[in-house]
Copies of this chain bind each other. A is one copy, B any other.
Amino acid sequence: MLKGHGDDICDYSGVRLNFSSNISWQADASPLLDYLKGRMETLRSYPEPDAGSLERAWAESLGLPEGSVCATSGATQAIYLIAQAFEGRRSTILSPTFSEYGDACRMFRHDVGLAWSVDGLEVSGGGLCWICNPNNPTGLVWNVDAVEELVDSNPGCIFVIDHSYAPYTDRRLMTAAEACSRPNVLMLHSMTKRYGVPGLRLGGITGRPALVSEIRRFMFPWSVNALAIEAGKFLISHGNLFGMDVQSILAERQRVSESLSAVGGMELWPSDTNMLLACLRNGKSAALKDFLVRRHGILIRDASNFEGLDDRFFRIAVQRPEEDDLLVEAIREWIYNC
């Protein structure tokens, strides 16, 4: 899907506050950007065709064997590569969720079915099951015990577990090592959400080397740009420079959720992360989005195009308290006046 994602800030002028992508202000890329300014010379040479040195460092940092990481141009390329490698399979997608799973599966002629909970979920032997955990756009974490039981009782199904939002929850999740110990899990990772660099395009797949190598066959060379490789190596060895206080982010999300509940006019979905999904009782999210960006320079995510949702849904990622207060007030203005 080339249109309709969040962080469509490029389509608007005058945006002061951006709640539309799932990235916290605490994911501050500054130390990384400073470092990369000194590494611009790497753009003068071809990157490694397969980003191999980054993959080895990444595997080592996660305590995984060599061959268990495939670095990609953002988690999105990873999604398309997996769909391609298992072309034509049956894919079950836990929904509502990130639209690219379905788009990628349909591009590669999967037989796509949607499911709505891990509880009682039935998957196909020989098929795939896509689980975004924590989930986008709800922010909910699927219970790790339920996920593990599902995975282990269906060894014939490949589970694609997208951990892009893992840095934003304190709920227990399957670790990369636990995923790698299983023959049927591919885990997706994003550098963007944790370190605030969505423009860089750096993500990856971890899993058993034999399974990951099936995916790597479909990489085109030089998929990962030279600065992304540099960035990845820096983040692996200097992650401690990037402070992020998950508890404060979660407390702020709870506060915003309560403030919006007090405003009324919408239902707030429960969340375990920094994001909030809301459903308007009256009016449409497109109208709210339009009002907020034009009147207040505030960008939210119209969530109507998530499969399973409708035109009443919007999504926000909480930011600084004073910014969130402005958002809540602006939404209140729309609810009571429009």
Using a CB–CB distance below 8 Å, which chain A residues touch chain B? 1-3, 5-7, 9-11, 18, 21, 29, 33, 36-37, 40-50, 53, 73-74, 76-77, 79-80, 100, 104, 107, 196-201, 216, 218-223, 225-228
Task: State how many angstroms separate the Cβ of A137 from the closest Cβ of chain B.
Answer: 15
Task: Tell me which of A11, A76, A104, A221 has the highest count of chain B C-beta atoms within 10 A of its own C-beta.
Answer: A221
Which residues on the B side are within 8 Å of A79 (C-beta)? 220
CA distance A330 to B33 in the complex (A): 41
- B10 in contact with A73 (CB, 8 Å): no
Task: State how many angstroms separate the Cβ of A47 from the closest Cβ of chain B.
Answer: 5
CA distance A221 to B201 in the complex (A): 11
Residue of B nearest to A228 (CB): B225
Q: Assuming the A-B contacts A36-B40, A227-B227, are A7 and B45 also in contact, with contact meaning beta carbons closer than 8 angstroms in the complex?
A: yes
Which residues on the B side are within 8 Å of A220 (C-beta)? 76-77, 79-80, 100, 104
Task: State how many angstroms separate the Cβ of A120 from the closest Cβ of chain B.
Answer: 32
- B43 in contact with A222 (CB, 8 Å): no
Residue among B10, B40, B43 making CB contact with A48, cutoff 8 Å = B10
Task: Tell me which of A104, A226, A227 has the highest count of chain B C-beta atoms within 10 A of its own C-beta.
Answer: A227
CA distance A278 to B333 in the complex (A): 73
A-B contact pairs, 29 of them (CB 8 A): A1-B49, A3-B50, A7-B46, A9-B45, A10-B45, A10-B46, A10-B48, A10-B53, A11-B48, A21-B45, A36-B40, A37-B40, A43-B200, A44-B197, A45-B199, A47-B199, A73-B73, A73-B225, A74-B222, A76-B221, A80-B220, A107-B218, A198-B226, A199-B225, A199-B227, A200-B226, A201-B222, A201-B225, A225-B227
